[in-house]
Amino acid sequence: MKTTVALIEDNAGICEELKLVFAEAPDVTCVSVSRNLQTALRVVPPLAPNVVIMDIQLPDGSGVDGAARLKRLLPETQIVMYTITQDADQIYRALEAGASGYLLKSASPEELIRSIREVRQGGVPMTPEVARKVIQSFRRPAASRSAVEALTKREEEVLELLAQGLASGEIAQALRIGIETVNTHLKHIYGKLHVRSRTEAVIKYRG
Amino acid sequence: MKTTVALIEDNAGICEELKLVFAEAPDVTCVSVSRNLQTALRVVPPLAPNVVIMDIQLPDGSGVDGAARLKRLLPETQIVMYTITQDADQIYRALEAGASGYLLKSASPEELIRSIREVRQGGVPMTPEVARKVIQSFRRPAASRSAVEALTKREEEVLELLAQGLASGEIAQALRIGIETVNTHLKHIYGKLHVRSRTEAVIKYRG
DNA sequence: GGGCACATCCCCAGGACTGGGGAGACGGGG
DNA sequence: CCCCGTCTCCCCAGTCCTGGGGATGTGCCC
C-alpha cells in the first residue's frame, strides 16, 4: 500500500534526517515539508496526504491546534504527532484534537516507518511510555480529561445557557448581567476549553 | 525474557487451543488455567504470573470486576482481556479496571504471542478496531440523526461539518466550494430546522 | 418544452461574535 | 495589609454570521 506523507517540522536537521528515512521506504512518499503551521495549513490540505507527521512545538503556534484544524479539513488523513514532550496533558490534547498516533523523537527511524504503515492499517502507533500514559488516564476518570471543571461557577452557568442555544444577549438577560460581561465570560471559557467559537464550546460541553 | 502466563477462560476448546499456542513459544509458560473467576482469584495470586489473559464473559461474574480485583492483588501483573465483545463500554471499563491490553478473539495465535511479549515491554496490545475506539473516546461522540428531515445531501454534509465545530470558511475549504455557497446552505438549513444560529442548529442536529 | 429541486455563486446591510486591552469591587489567604 | 481570583463592566478593531435579495447551470419528471 502506497502512502503519501506530509511533514510539518521546524527543525531543519530533523527534516533532513526524516527525508533520508522516508527515502529508505519504497512505499512511503514524502509529498510536502512545512516549517510552520501557517504554511502547512495552506499547503497540506490540497495535497490530501494519507498521513501527516507533525511536531507539537512549532514557531507560529501549537501543533495541537494545527492538528485539530488539519483533521477537520482532512478527516481521512491520519495525523501522527512527533515530538519530544511526553507531557500527559499534551498527549491528551493531541488525541482529542484527532491525532491517531504519538511518537517521541527518541523513536528510531525504523519505528517511525513502521508507525506510518501501522497507522494506515488502522493502528494507533505510540511509544510505550506514551501508550502507558494514555491507558492510565482511564484509571483516574474524568480528572484531567474534562477541562469543564476548571470553569468558575458563573462561567459554567454561561456555558450551560450557551449550550441551550441562547445568544449572548439572551444569556445576559437570563443572568441579569451586561452583554459585555457575558462576552468576557465567553472569552475565558474559550481559553479554558481551548476552543475558538461558541459552537466548539457547546460541542465540548455536551461531549 | 521469560514470561509466565495465567489463563482465565471458560470455553474448554479455546483453552486447549491456547495451550497449544503457548507451547509454541519457548519464552512463554502457561502456569495456570482457570475456568471461572472464583477459582482464578484463589489460584492466580499466589502464582504471581507476569501476565494474565482473561475473558470478559465468565460464568460467575464479569471479567472486568475480576480484572480489577486481580490488579489490586497483583499490581505488577499485566492483564490482557481476550474476548469477543468490542463494545466500547466494556473496553473502557476494562481499561479503567487496570487492564493493559484488549484483544479480540479474532486475533491470530501469532498476534496473541506477540501481544504477550509486547505487554511485558510496557506496550499496550490492542486489536486495531479496539485501539480505534479507545482513541475515539477522546473525541466527540458521533452525531445521532433524527429531527433532520428535509435536508438535502449537501445540506447534511454542511451540517455535519458544522456540528464538528467548523467555521463557514473551513466548511467551504473542506467541501471545496465557495464560502457564499456554504452560507446559502446554512440559510436553508436554518429554515428547515427552524433555528436562528449555528449553535441552535448543532444542538438540534446532535439531539 | 416547462416546471421544479438542487447546487453553486454573488451583493448587501446590520448585527453578532472574537479577541485584545483595561478597570473597579469584593472576598479570602498569606 | 497586599495579592489574587472572581465577577462585573467598558472600549475597540476586525471578522464572522444572519437574512434579505438575485442569478446561473444541471438534471429530472411530466
Question: What would the pLDDT profile of B2-46 be if each residue is shown by its tens digit?
Answer: 899 999 998 888 888 888 888 888 999 999 999 988 788 778 877
Which one has a higher pLDDT value, A142 or A107? A107
SS3 B24: helix
Of A8-22, A126-140, B20-34, B40-54, the poorest mean pLDDT is in A126-140
Which one has a higher pLDDT value, B148 or A81? A81
Which pairing describes strands B51-54 and B78-83: parallel, antiparallel, or unpaired?
parallel
Residue A50, all three cell numbers: 494519507
Residue A40, all three cell numbers: 502547512
pLDDT higher than 70, residue A137 = no
In the DSSP assignment, the letter for residue B82 is: E
Q: Stretch A74-85: mean pLDDT, rounded?
A: 86
B167 touches strand D (CB under 7 A): yes
Which one has a higher pLDDT value, A205 or A90? A205
Q: Which residues contact B100 (CB under 8 A, 6 or more apart)?
A: A135, B78, B79, B80, B119, B124, B125
Q: What is the pLDDT of residue B14?
A: 86
Q: Stretch A36-53: mean pLDDT, rounded?
A: 86
Q: What is the pLDDT of residue B121?
A: 81
- The nucleotide lying nearest A195 (C-alpha to C1') is C18
Q: What distance in Å separates the CA atoms of residue B139 and residue A34, rounded to the nearest whole number?
A: 26
pLDDT higher than 80, residue A27 = yes
Q: What is the pLDDT of residue B122?
A: 77
A169 touches strand C (CB under 7 A): yes
Q: What distance in Å separates the CA atoms of residue B4 and residue A1, rounded to the nearest whole number?
A: 37
Percentage, residues of chain A above pLDDT 90: 25
Residue A129 at interface with chain B, using a CB cutoff of 8 Å: yes
Total residues belonging to chain B: 207
Strand partners for B62: B57
SS3 B181: helix
Q: What distance in Å separates the CA atoms of residue A126 and residue A56, rounded to the nearest whole number?
A: 15
Low-confidence stretches of chain B (pLDDT < 50) are: 140-148
Assess contact for B40 and B54: CB atoms under 8 A: yes
Q: What distance in Å separates the CA atoms of residue B51 and residue A162, rounded to the nearest whole number?
A: 48
Q: Are B140 and A207 an interchain contact pair (Cβ–Cβ within 8 Å)?
A: yes
pLDDT higher than 50, residue A72 = yes
Which pairing describes strands B61-62 and B57-58: parallel, antiparallel, or unpaired?
antiparallel
Name the amino acid, one letter, at A70.
Answer: L
Q: What distance in Å separates the CA atoms of residue B74 and residue B56, rounded to the nearest whole number?
A: 18
Of A41, A33, A27, A45, the C-alpha closest to A7 is A33
Q: Which residues contact B198 (CB under 8 A, 6 or more apart)?
A: A199, B162, B186
Q: What distance in Å separates the CA atoms of residue A101 and residue A115, rounded to the nearest whole number?
A: 8
Q: Stretch A160-172: mean pLDDT, rounded?
A: 89
Residue B163 at interface with chain A, using a CB cutoff of 8 Å: yes
What is the Cβ-side half-sphere exposure of residue B124, based on CA atoms within 13 angstroms?
Answer: 24
Q: What distance in Å separates the CA atoms of residue B127 and residue B114, rounded to the nearest whole number?
A: 12
pLDDT higher than 60, residue A148 = no
Strand order, beta sheet including A28-34: A28-34, A3-8, A51-54, A78-83, A101-104
Of A195, A46, A148, A140, the C-alpha closest to B202 is A195
pLDDT higher than 70, residue A76 = yes
Residue A124 at interface with chain B, using a CB cutoff of 8 Å: yes
Assess contact for B78 and B120: CB atoms under 8 A: yes
Task: Indicate the pTM of the whole model.
Answer: 0.56
Angle between helices A198-206 and B198-205 (to 10 degrees): 20
Query: CA A195, A197, A200 angle in degrees (round to 5)?
Result: 60
Assess contact for A134 and A91: CB atoms under 8 A: yes
- Highest mean pLDDT among A76-90, A139-153, B68-82, B163-177 belongs to B163-177
A153 touches strand D (CB under 7 A): yes
Q: What distance in Å separates the CA atoms of residue B203 and residue A203, rounded to the nearest whole number?
A: 9
Q: What distance in Å separates the CA atoms of residue A34 and residue A54, rounded to the nearest whole number?
A: 9
Q: What is the pLDDT of residue B141?
A: 32
B152 touches strand D (CB under 7 A): no
Assess contact for B182 and B157: CB atoms under 8 A: no
- A75, A95, A202: residue with CB nearest B202: A202
Q: What is the pLDDT of residue A187?
A: 93
Q: What distance in Å separates the CA atoms of residue B157 and residue B169, rounded to the nearest whole number?
A: 14
